Every structure is written in C-alpha cells, then in structure tokens.
C-alpha cells in the first residue's frame, strides 16, 4: 500500500509532507504506512482526493484513478460545440503547457453556459488566497491566451507554472527583471515574483459559478 500511495503522489506531483498536511495525517504517515490502515483514515484520504481509487490503494486491483465518473458516461457524439470541459485541477497540475496539463483524462464533466461559450476550460478554485473575489470551491471559466503580448496587468489569470502547477492570481508588473508579480486578493497572502522562464502559459479568468 505504501508503494501505491507513493505512486499516486508522484502522479499528482506533490510531496509526502504536503499530502499529510492536506489530509490531516501525522507527519511521517507515508513512510510508516502499513496495510492495516483504518477505515477512518481511508475515508479522510478519499474525501480530499476523490480521484484516487481506494480499492486500488488497498488491494492493488483495478486502476489507480476513479475513471468511472460522469465524464466516462458522456457520449462525445452528443457534445455541443459550446460545451466547456471542467477539469480536475489537482490531477492536471504538473509539468507542461496548458495543452498537456489540461489533458482529456482529467476532464470531470462538460457544461454549457451561454456566457462561457468562448471559454476553453473550467476548473475549481482551491484555497482562500483569492477571497473575496473567489472562494474555495468556486468554478472559474477561463480563456487561454496564445500570446502574452495581450497580458493585462491587474487582471486575474490561471497561470501554468513548471514548479507549482496551476496558480490563480492577479498578474502585475514586477520590479525585478524577467519576473512577473503574482498578487492574492486575500491580504494574508503576500505577493511574490516568479521568473518568466517558469511560466508555461496564461488563461484569463472571465467568469465564475458560485453556490450560496
């Protein structure tokens, strides 16, 4: 089970410590993992990472990911040109351009929202760094930029980075050469600079779906 969990973390592109913190497990849980994990612990893991096939984690049988989701029942022939894919942002995070990071295997479902018909993808907001503009669990609709010449300062973008996967931030001009400044709306999160060489692409956030 330990090896399978490590394989899953490698797929996500996250470290053991980050995994333990997100699930609420003790430090060093992964390194000391045995096959007698409690149901309560497995439920905690499944809650945070629903894409993980818990039966595979326990027994090694089947596929690592829960691919039997709604999207698997979608008949592509029935898709409308205005249907926009909703991606699993956690699974999609990793190395590569938007085209590779937003691969078909990470599509959760498709949605048709008239105002979003010209968008390229939708994804969930994770965390509170962009609150109150966006809250954890919001779905944002995004339009991929194919040229950074049209980058608008102080607009909110989804940024694909080589080290941190996807980030949702306001983009501002940096005082440092060859860098871009990323700013959170939540003042508890300080702004930071990222070298342009680490930025793989931008997508402008054009809309949001929020539940009360």
Q: What is the pLDDT of residues 85-96, one digit of tens each?
A: 898 876 555 556
Domain contains 64: no
Q: What is the DSSP letter of 52?
A: B
pLDDT at 100: 66
Above 60 in pLDDT, residue 68?
no
The fraction of the chain above a pLDDT of 90, given in percent, is: 37
Q: Do 195 and 92 share a structural domain?
A: yes
Domain contains 145: yes
Nearest to 161 by CA among 192, 189, 194: 194
Q: Do 102 and 14 share a structural domain?
A: no
d(CA 162, CA 184): 19
Domain contains 66: no
Containing domain of residue 87, as a range? 72-209
pLDDT (mean) for 78-91: 78
Q: What are phi and psi of 168, to 5 degrees?
A: -115, 110
Q: Do 175 and 131 share a structural domain?
A: yes
135-148 residue pLDDT tens: 988 999 999 988 77
Domain contains 65: no
Q: Do 135 and 83 share a structural domain?
A: yes
pTM: 0.62
């Amino acid at each position: 089970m330990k090896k399978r969990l490590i394989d899953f973390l490698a797929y996500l592109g996250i470290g053991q410590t980050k995994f333990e913190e997100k699930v609420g497990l003790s430090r060093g849980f992964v390194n000391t993992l045995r096959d007698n994990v409690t149901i309560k612990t497995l439920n905690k893991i499944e809650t945070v990472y629903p894409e993980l096939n818990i039966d595979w984690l326990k027994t090694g049988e089947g596929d690592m990911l829960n691919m039997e989701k709604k999207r698997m029942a979608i008949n592509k022939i029935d898709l409308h040109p205005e249907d926009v894919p909703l991606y699993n942002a956690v699974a999609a995070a990793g190395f590569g351009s938007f085209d590779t990071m937003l691969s078909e295997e990470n599509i959760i479902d498709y949605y048709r929202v008239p105002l979003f018909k010209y968008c390229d993808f939708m994804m969930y907001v994770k965390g509170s760094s962009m609150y109150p503009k966006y809250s954890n669990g919001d779905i944002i609709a995004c339009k991929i930029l194919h040229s950074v010449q049209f980058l608008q300062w102080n607009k909110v973008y989804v940024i694909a980075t080589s080290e941190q996967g996807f980030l949702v931030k306001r983009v501002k001009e940096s005082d440092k050469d060859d860098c871009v400044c990323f700013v959170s709306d939540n003042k508890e999160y300080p702004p930071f600079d990222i070298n342009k060489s680490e930025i793989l692409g931008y997508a402008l956030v054009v809309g949001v779906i929020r539940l009360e």
